[in-house]
Amino acid sequence: MKTRRDFIKISTVGAGAAALSYKAFGANGLGLFKSNSADPVSDEDLTPYPTYCEVCFWKCAGWAYVDKKGKIRKIVGNKNDPHCNGRLCPRGTGGIGMVYDEDRLKTPLIRETGTDGKQYFREASWDEALDVVAQKMDTLRKEHGPECLALFSHGTGGSLFTHLVKAFGSPNITAPSFAQCRGPREVAFTATFGEPVLSPERTDIRDTRCLVLIGSHLGENMHNGQIQEMSEAIDNGATIITVDPRYSTAASHSQYWLPIKPATDLALLLAWIHVIIEEKLYDKDYVEKYTLGLNELKAHVKNNTPEWAYGITTIEPHVIRKTARTMAGAAPRTIIHPGRHVTWYGDDTQRSRAIAILNALLGSWGRRGGFYYPDSVKLPKIKTPPYPKPKRTWRDAVPANKYRLADEVLTTGVCDATIPNPNLSCHLRGWIVYGTNLMAALPDQKKTLDAIKNLDFLVVVDTMPMDLAGYADVVLPECTYLERYDYIRTSPHRDPYIALRMPSIEPMYNTKPAWWMTKQLANRLGLADYFPWKNIEELLDWQLKQVGSSLEEMKHIGVKKFNRAYDDLYWLENLPDYQFNTNSGKIELYSTALSDEGFDPFPVYTAHPEPQSGYYRLNYGRAPMHTFSRTSNNHNLWDLMDENSVWVNPVVAGLWGLKKGQKVWLKNQDDVISSFPVKVRVTERIRSDSVYMVHGFGHTNKKLSRAYSRGASDSELITHVDMDPVMGGTGMRSNFVTFLLEDPALKRKEVKA
C-alpha cells in the first residue's frame, strides 16, 4: 500500500583542478599521492590486507594496512595490478575517510509515523529491517508480480542484489552508468565494430602517437591506469589534441586546444572525416579489407568542409585540416577517444558513431596504439536454479516501445514506468537502490520525485546518508569496501587478471556487507537455493579453486594474472579473416543496425538550442579528488576540495560586475534556483557562452556535516533533458543558467508556490 512519503532528514527518535599527479603533469603534484596516514608508523607494525578500491569504478587493487590496534593506517596500490601499477589516485589513498566518517549510516532505519502525524526514522535491528523489506517484496510479488520491482545499482555489491532481484523474477535492473554516462558510446561502437568500448576502456594509450580528447575529463577524472598511460604517451612524444570549450587539465598538456563552441562537436567530427576522405588520408588497405560503406560515407560528408564547420564550431578551417593531417600522420597509432560521460545533447549516439567512424578510417581498431582486444577471467558460477522467466519488463509500463537499441535498462525509463499511466495495465511499485544517490545521479529531479511518490516501497542500501536516503522506507547500512568481501574483480584488460577484496577490519557500527543482506533476504523470500553457500568466503574459495587458485593464495597476493584464452586475438593483423559481430561481419561505416531501426545510417549534424541573452550554457565535470557526490563528505578528500566554484569568463564577469570569490546563486531556464550559493571563479579557461562547475556538490542533507550546503548542485539545475532517440540517453548539456547576486530565498518561495 502506498504511503505518503515525506523527505526525512536522517535523524532518529525514540530508542533506537588540481593538477594531474603523474610524471608528465608534475610529479606528485600537491602531495596527493603521499600516504594519508596522519601519524605514520613503520610498515613492520602494520598488517596488509588485499582490496580493490571502490571510491570510483576503475577498481584499482591495493593493500590496506592495519595497525595493531585494528585501525587502517594507509592504502597503497598493488604493483601487480594493471589498473594502477602500484599507484592509487588521491581519491583511492583517501578511501580510509569512508571508513572513519562519523556521519556514516550506522544501523538499519525504518520509516514510521509518530502519534503527532510526523514521519521519522526509527533505528531497527537487522532482523526487523530485513523482515520489513522481505514482507514488502513478498506482498508486491503476490499482488502485482515480481516484475514490479526495480533495482538501481552502482557499485560492486550491486552484483549480489542483481542476483537476488533476478532470482526474485524481475528483469528491471538498471544503473546510471548507461543512460546518464557511457551508453551512447557503447551502442555506437557496437553498431560500428560489433563490440562495446567496455570499462576500463580498451584504448592502447600507452603506445599511441596521437590522442584526441573531445569534451573529456581525463586528467580531472582520475581513471588511474588510463592517466598513467597518457602520461607515458606524452613522455614518449605523443600529440594530444583536446576539443573543449574549457581549458581543461588535458588541454593544458595538449599541442592543440580547440575551444569549440559547445554543442557543435559533431560538425567538427564530420569535417575531420571529410578531410581524411577527400585528402585520401585514410588507411586504404584496412578500410578496403574490413569496412562497409566508404563510398556512401564520402558522398554523405561531401559538403561538410572545414569552411562549413568553421561557421558552426568557430574552429578555423586551417586548424581543422592541420589536426586531421596530424591524426592521419600518426595512424594507426591514433585514438579518437570515445569519452566516458557522453550524454550531452541528445544526438550522442550519432556523435559517438562519428568518433567510431574516424577511428575506423584511421585503422586504429584492433591495432597497436589504437584499440586492443581485451580479455577477462570467466569465473565459474556455482550451480543454482535457473532464474524465473519474467512475464513483463519496464517497457510494458511505458507508452511506446522506444529506444530499442538500448541494451541495458534505462534509469529514466524505470522512473517513467513507475508513474502510473491510465492507458497501461501495470507500473513498477518497488525500488531497491544500491549505492547510488539518484537525486544527484539522474537529471530532472522532479520526475525522480514523482516516481518515488508513486512507490509502494523504497529501500536504500548505502554507506552514507545521501540525499535519496531521506525518501526511503527502509535504509540498510552497508559496511564500506574496506570492511567486507565482495565478488572477485574480473574486469577486462590487455591480459586477464583477478583481484580479491577482503575485509581489513570488522564492519564498524551495526553495518553489514551486501552478500550477507542478500542471503538473508533470499532466506526470507524462499530463494535460499540461489545462495547455496554458507558465507561468501566459501563461494569465493570454490570459484578460485576452479581456476587454479584459492582464497588463501589470493589473500597473500591480492592480484593474479592468467593467460589469455585466445592469444592471437590481441591485434587484428593476427586474424586476417576476422568477422566483426555486426550484421555485415564488417566494420560498419554505414550502420545497418541504425538504418534497420529507422535512424540515419551516418551521423547528421543538427543545431542545438542556444542560451537566451544573459544565460550561459551549464557545463559540468569532475575533480581529481572526488567521485560524483559520493566523496564530498569524506574528510580526507574534503580537506583537498570542500566546495565547487562556478567558472566565469572575465568578459561575463565584467558584464555582471562579478569578482573572484563572490558568492552567487544560479538560476536556470526553468526558474530553478540553486539551493546554495556558489563561489565565482573568474577565468579565461572558459568561453564566454558557458559556465562550468564540478559535479557532486551542494548537498541538501544536513547529516552530511561537511558536505551540506557546500557549493551548488549542477544536478538540481539540470531540469531539461534531450533524449537520445537511439538508446534513451539523457542529454544534459542544454541547460542554461544566469546569476542571482542576492539571496533569492524569498524569490525561491515564490517559484515553489
Cβ distance to ligand SF4 smaller for residue 315 or 499? 499
* Cα–Cα distance, 299 to 680 (Å, whole number): 47
Cβ distance to ligand SF4 smaller for residue 291 or 436? 436
The least distance separating ligand SF4 from the CB of residue 162, rounded to whole angstroms, comes to 20
* Cα–Cα distance, 448 to 446 (Å, whole number): 5
Q: Which residue is nearest to ligand SF4 (CB)?
A: 92
Q: Which parts of this chain interact with ligand SF4 (CB under 6 A)?
A: 53, 55-56, 58-60, 84, 88-89, 91-92, 222-224
The least distance separating ligand SF4 from the CB of residue 75, rounded to whole angstroms, comes to 8
Cβ distance to ligand SF4 smaller for residue 224 or 323? 224
Grid look-up 541538501 returns 700
The least distance separating ligand SF4 from the CB of residue 89, rounded to whole angstroms, comes to 3
Cβ distance to ligand SF4 smaller for residue 84 or 354? 84
Cβ distance to ligand SF4 smaller for residue 37 or 709? 37
Q: Is 489 left (phi over 0), alpha (psi -120 to 50) or beta?
A: beta
The H-assigned helical ranges of 633-674 are: 635-640, 650-656
CA distances from 539 to 168, 234, 482, 535, 598 (A): 20, 43, 19, 7, 46
The least distance separating ligand SF4 from the CB of residue 88, rounded to whole angstroms, comes to 4
Cβ distance to ligand SF4 smaller for residue 88 or 356? 88
The least distance separating ligand SF4 from the CB of residue 704, rounded to whole angstroms, comes to 19
Strand residue runs (E) in 596-747: 616-621, 645-648, 663-668, 678-682, 690-694, 722-723, 730-731, 736-740
Cβ distance to ligand SF4 smaller for residue 82 or 259? 82
Cβ atoms of residues 643 and 697 within 8 Å: yes
The least distance separating ligand SF4 from the CB of residue 62, rounded to whole angstroms, comes to 7
The least distance separating ligand SF4 from the CB of residue 294, rounded to whole angstroms, comes to 39
The least distance separating ligand SF4 from the CB of residue 84, rounded to whole angstroms, comes to 6
The least distance separating ligand SF4 from the CB of residue 35, rounded to whole angstroms, comes to 14
The least distance separating ligand SF4 from the CB of residue 631, rounded to whole angstroms, comes to 9
Cβ distance to ligand SF4 smaller for residue 91 or 560? 91
The least distance separating ligand SF4 from the CB of residue 93, rounded to whole angstroms, comes to 7
* Cα–Cα distance, 525 to 522 (Å, whole number): 5
The alpha carbon of residue 43 and the mean position of all alpha carbons in its chain are separated, in whole angstroms, by 35
* Cα–Cα distance, 514 to 506 (Å, whole number): 14
Task: Work out the angle at residue 474's Cα, subtended by the Cα atoms of residues 472 and 477, and round it to the nearest 5 degrees.
Answer: 105
Minimal CA–CA distance to 347: which of 457, 184, 121, 512?
A: 184
* Cα–Cα distance, 200 to 57 (Å, whole number): 9
Cβ distance to ligand SF4 smaller for residue 62 or 363? 62
The least distance separating ligand SF4 from the CB of residue 53, rounded to whole angstroms, comes to 3
The least distance separating ligand SF4 from the CB of residue 223, rounded to whole angstroms, comes to 6
**3 state DSSP class of 452:** helix
Q: List 618's β-bridge partners, or say none.
A: 691
* Cα–Cα distance, 453 to 439 (Å, whole number): 14
The least distance separating ligand SF4 from the CB of residue 564, rounded to whole angstroms, comes to 24
Cβ distance to ligand SF4 smaller for residue 136 or 630? 630
Cβ distance to ligand SF4 smaller for residue 62 or 711? 62
* Cα–Cα distance, 518 to 526 (Å, whole number): 12
3-state secondary structure 547-612: CCCCHHHHHHHCEEECCCCCCCECEHHHCCCCCCCCCCCCEECCCHHHHHCCCCCCCCCCCCCCCC
Cβ atoms of residues 161 and 393 within 8 Å: no
* Cα–Cα distance, 563 to 439 (Å, whole number): 43
Cβ distance to ligand SF4 smaller for residue 223 or 321? 223
**3 state DSSP class of 53:** coil
Phi and psi at residue 403, to the nearest 5°: 55, 45
Cβ distance to ligand SF4 smaller for residue 248 or 627? 627
* Cα–Cα distance, 635 to 630 (Å, whole number): 12
The H-assigned helical ranges of 331-461 are: 348-361, 411-418, 438-441, 445-453
The least distance separating ligand SF4 from the CB of residue 83, rounded to whole angstroms, comes to 6
Cβ distance to ligand SF4 smaller for residue 58 or 431? 58
Cβ distance to ligand SF4 smaller for residue 57 or 542? 57
Q: At residue 558, what is the residue type?
A: G
* Cα–Cα distance, 583 to 581 (Å, whole number): 7
Cβ distance to ligand SF4 smaller for residue 586 or 626? 626
* C-alpha cell belonging to residue 684: 579565461
Strand residue runs (E) in 183-328: 210-214, 239-243, 256-258, 291-292
The least distance separating ligand SF4 from the CB of residue 627, rounded to whole angstroms, comes to 6
* Cα–Cα distance, 316 to 310 (Å, whole number): 5
The least distance separating ligand SF4 from the CB of residue 219, rounded to whole angstroms, comes to 12
Cβ distance to ligand SF4 smaller for residue 91 or 111? 91
* Cα–Cα distance, 695 to 713 (Å, whole number): 7
Gyration radius of the chain over CA positions: 25
Q: What is the largest CA-CA distance in the chain?
A: 78
* Cα–Cα distance, 619 to 246 (Å, whole number): 9
